[in-house]
Every structure is written in C-alpha cells, then in structure tokens.
Amino acid sequence: MEEMKRHLKVKDQSVDTSGITKDYQIALCEYIWNGFEANATVVSVNYEINIAEGISSISVQDNGDGICFETLDDVFGYFMASQKNMLSTQIKSKANKGKGRFAFNAFASDAVWETVYCRDGKHYKYEIAISSGEKDVYTPTPPMPVEDSDTGCTVTFTGIMRMLPEDLNFKVLEENFLVEFAWYLYLYKENNVRLVVNGTDLDYTRWIDEDLTIELETNIEDEHFSIKIIVWKEKIKEKFCTYYINSKDELKSRSTTTFNRNTVNFNHSAYVKSSFFDKRNSAAITLEDIKREERIYQKLNKFMQNLIEEQLHSFLLRNSENEIEKMRKRGSFPHFSDNPWDKVREQNFTNVVKELYCIESKIFYKLKPIQEKSLLAFLNLLLDSAERENILSIIEEIVSLSSQQREDFAKILQKTKLENILNSIKLIESRYTVIEGLRTIVYDLANYANEREHIQKIVESHYWIFGERYNLVSADERMQKALEKYLYLIDGKDAPSPKLESDGDINRRMDIFMCRKQLAEDSYETQLEENIIVELKAPMVKLTNKVYRQIEDYMLFITKHHEFNTQLRRWKFISVCREIDDDIRNKYDAFRDKGKKFLIYQASNFEIYAMTWADVFKDFEIRHSFILDRLKYDCEKLSREMLPKETEQSRATADAITNKMLATV
C-alpha cells in the first residue's frame, strides 16, 4: 500500500515544547475523548501481552465517524489548532488544540490509526502512522473502498515504554477514568454511550451520591423541563455545568454553574431536558417569541440556581457533623461541661456553627488553628451575651451574604434562641417536678418511704441536687467497688489494683459518691480535684452524733488508704436528714468564721457538712430563682399533677412517685 509522508503545519510552538502530557493515563484519556468527539457510542481500551510478560501493544477503539481522508490535512495536519475541537466545544471545557494525537509519546514510540469513514454513501479505509522519531511527520496510506465495515477508528500503540500489565489493570484505570468521563457517560446514557476497559464497562453510577442526587419535573410558562442534579461522590475533572438537552437527546448548549469555586468538594452536574431546546424555524420566530425565550431562560436559570443551592446546603449540613468533629479533635471547639445547663448551651452553639458552615463554609476554610479557635470562642461569647442579635451584622463584615443567606441565618439565630429558652424551661420544669416529688416523700410519706428504695434512687438519678459540677461515680456500693470505680474514673485503664484491709471497713457502704472532674484551686492557687460523698438517711432518721460519727468513719477510711489520700484532692462529706439535733447544730458555730453554710468540721483537705432536706430544697430554689420567678410556677398545682391519682398514704404511693422521678429526665 503506497504511503506518502506529510508534514505538520506547526503553529506557535514545536511538538516537543507544547506541554503534551507525560502521564500515560491522561494520554489515554485524550484518545478516548477523540472517539467520543467523533460521535462514538462505544470506546474500548485494550492491551496485549508479549512473550516476556510485558506489554506489546495498547489500542483504543471507537465506533465513531472515523477520520475523513479528504479533510485529513485540515483535521490531522495542524498542530496547536484543532478543527474537531472547534466543532465540539459543547462537550469539553478545554480543547486540546490537536495535541491529543501526540500524547502517545508518554508511553509508546509509535502510533497507527486504522480508520473507516463514510463519504457520498460509500465507506473507505486507510491508516495513518506517526513515530516519536519524526514527530513533525505523519504518514497516511491511500483510502480504499470497503464493504460491510462500520465507521470508526482504532489507534494502536507499540514500542511501549516503562509500563507493566498491572499499570493497565481495570482497578488502576477505573478511578482516573471515572474522574474524567463519569459526567459524560451520564450525559449520553440515553444513547447507550459506553467506555469499556479490558472488556469491562466503566460503571459511572458508582460515582453518584444517591442521597443528594435529585430528579424532578417543572413547568415554566407552559414549557416542560425534566431536571436532574447529580452530586458526585468524588471530584470530576470537568467544570461543574448545566447541560441543556433537546427532545432528541442532543446536547444543545451548556453553562457553568456558579459553584465552580466552592471549597467543600461539592462535585455536581445539572441536566435539563426539554423540547424547548429543539431547533426553532427562524423564519417563523417573532420578536415576541424571542422575548419569551429570554424570559423563560432567565426563570429556568434562577430555578436551577436555587435548586443547586438547596442541594449544596444539604451537602454541607451532612458534612457539618464531620467538620465539627474535626474542630473538636483539633481543640478548637469551646469547652462545655457535662452538666445539663452546659449541654443546652453546647447544643445551641453547635446548631449555630452548623448553620454558619452551611451558609458560608469559606469562613472556616484554611484557617490556622489559633484563628479557628478564636473565631469559635468569639462566636460562643456573642451567643451568651446581649450582643447575640449583632452576630449577623458581624458575619456580614467578614463575608458577603445574599439576601436569602441573611434571612436564613437570622432565622437560625432566632430558632436557636427560642430552642435555648424552651430547653431551659423544660429542664427547670423537670427539676422542679423532681424536687416536689422528693419533698412529698420526705414530708408527706415519711412513714412509708425509706432510704434505699426511695430517696437514694431519686438522688442517684438526679445528683444535680447537690451541685451541677459533680459526676456520679458510684451509689450504694461497698468501699472496695467504690474505690475501683473512683480510681478508674481518675486514672482510666492504667489505674492500679486497689487492695483494702479486711478490717470491717471493706463492708462499709457509701450512699452517693460523686466526683467533680474539673479542677478547683486552693488559697495558694494550687489546682485540686474536688470530691463529694453524700450520706442519705430515711425520712424518719434524725441527724445525730451517731450519724456524724459514721461520716467521720468514711473520712478515716480515706486517710488510711494511699489510693485515696493525697493533698491534691479535696473531700466534702454531706449528711442529709429531715431533722438535725442540737448537738450537731452547736457545731455550726464552731466553723461559722469559715464563711461556709452547713459546715460542721474542717481539717486539712477534708470538710463535713450537715443539711436538712429543707436546706436542700431551699438551696435549689435559690440557685434557680432567676428563672423560677419568671416562670411563676404554681408549686401546689405542680405537686398535685405529679402525685398519682390514688393519693392515699401508702408504700405504693411512695413507690409510684419514686418511679415517676426516675423516669423524669
């Protein structure tokens, strides 16, 4: 077959300095695109292994239009100017300007195109060869007529360099090809467009995030539109575009969305199909028709913009949990304690940060650790201050918010403020219910209630009664178990194995044993751990010297065991009874100068307190008075609602009230 060498018409740059890729996967993508740009519905990538278990050849085959010999010089002979790309700009964001056919230099020395094309109803076949040794020369053979042969092109590469069979494994190529072609395969799915790699179809659907992808129908001025927003699980190479498709599944135009510079990897494509994009008879179009089309396009674009924004918000909302968790791990999130009040504040703060992240994630983008921590601390202070209403104005000084974003953020500030108030009211109401239930058991049902089955169970479930700062460690357990739990709380899995002497102390029980994990300070500004032990008695038991000596026994137990005994731990012992006898009351005077209510003993890092239940209830009212007064609770009504219907003085009534208190959050 006669061959004739032809020279490239090089423009602007030589082949060697034109920026042709040196990555074999990117190079293969160029040849696949050549097939799709030639209207191929199937493009296949295959390779053959030689006797030495190396790669003898790689081929890219398509069933496209082929390369017309009569326009070969215009299509194939120009470098840095590609006629085909000019005709196919609707498909790719970036044209390769004729460089794609020389991409084989990344992995092979020679390339041969075998192509069949159709001209005047007849099919012709010929070959084109290029060698890396003569990059400015391409050699075609004369076209020959063929029968029963479909149009298309197969380019075969030989002289494979620096590649092994595993480099062309499907799993190796799959991810890169999905990044490049997933959006295109979906775009032309109705035309059964496929990309086959080593006999296996590339499955673009596995790249689609089904949770965020939506499909819907809408009408705009009697024009019907079928819309699908695809959210991709991973990054795609193509710009994020809206593709406009007519009723024949032909791509008529496209435009980039306004979210191509998003910083949160919101990878998406939008597809709009409608007969509205069918070719109109230009002779019959009036000025009114043109105005109507422009109006519909404007409404459609605005509709698409809002739709994509909604999906972006859903995407960010889903991701905000992970982002906030990262902030916590980086130590940027403000510290909130475990008490219920701080739990309410923390939820309020978290909701605002989530919404702020969704509205404008750029605020948190590439912040240095100190910047992120400062921003969150500043926001937390504002939420807790009278300046809460000014947060929106401050945020707008940092980033420009649209009117819709401003409205959305204003709503979330109002919503979280209301949620904060409602949660606080609910918390106070449930606590008041507990206090009223405990008051009823201590005073009204004293003859039918006892320490372990009623009072202790309620306090175990609501240890906030003795202070927000304490965490429950153990309740009604032998000292051995209490010690083990205590040490595990303090030291974790590395806690030593505690051993107690068999001297009777081991069988002692502490009713409630609570520990504050955060640090306190003494008068010398030394940090200490503060602990509390509460001794509870049945309603009919009076706080006497006998009960007081039991507390002293607990204190002596701690001083005798080094696992408990350290000057860096402060111990508070509290005994609570309905009444206190005169001997105990006289001890108040001895320590009145310490300025601590209910203190009856103090030595070193140990303190003993004696309280009546009346003291406990009044302490609760004082601590919560700031909101109790505003809520104007009807205590008697609440007490009546809290009591079971059968209000008889009995053990059953005490049990029923206790069970209700245990179920109260």
197 versus 595: which is more confidently predicted?
Answer: 197
∠ Cα 171 174 179 (to 5°): 145
**pTM higher than 0.85, yes or no?**
no
Q: Which domains does the chain have, with CATH numbers?
A: 6-200 (3.30.565), 208-289 (no CATH), 317-424 (no CATH), 445-633 (3.40.1350.10)
Q: Give me the amino acid identity at 547.
A: V
Q: Is 373 a residue whose pLDDT tops 50?
A: yes
Mean pLDDT score across all residues of the chain: 78
Q: What is the DSSP string of 319-361?
A: HHHHHHHHHHHTT-SPP--SSHHHHHHHHHHHHHHHHHHHH-G
Query: 427 vs 536, which has greater pLDDT?
Result: 536
pLDDT of residue 95: 45
Cβ distance 103 to 31 under 8 Å? yes
User: What confidence score (pLDDT) does residue 17 get?
Assistant: 43
Kindly report, residue by residue over 175-191, the tens digit of the pLDDT: 889 999 999 999 898 88
Tokens linked to 639:
């007490």
Do the Cβ atoms of 458 and 661 come closer than 8 Å? yes
Reported as a pLDDT band with limits 50, 70 and 90, residue 208 is: very high
Predicted confidence band at 469 (pLDDT cuts at 50, 70, 90)?
low
Residue with tokens 């969704």: 358
3-state secondary structure of 449: coil
More confident residue, 339 or 325: 325
CA distance 444 to 539: 10
Of 617, 273, 181, 609, give the one whose Cα is nearest residue 438.
617
Q: Are 443 and 423 in contact (CB under 8 A)?
A: no
If pLDDT is split at 50, 70 and 90, which confidence band does 571 have? confident
Q: Which of 24-28, 244-248, 293-297, 442-446 has the lowest mean pLDDT?
A: 442-446
pLDDT at residue 42, as a whole number: 97
Using DSSP's 3-state secondary structure scheme, residue 661 falls into helix
CA atoms within 13 A on the CB side of 10: 13
Report the alpha-carbon angle 455-457-462, nearest 5: 95
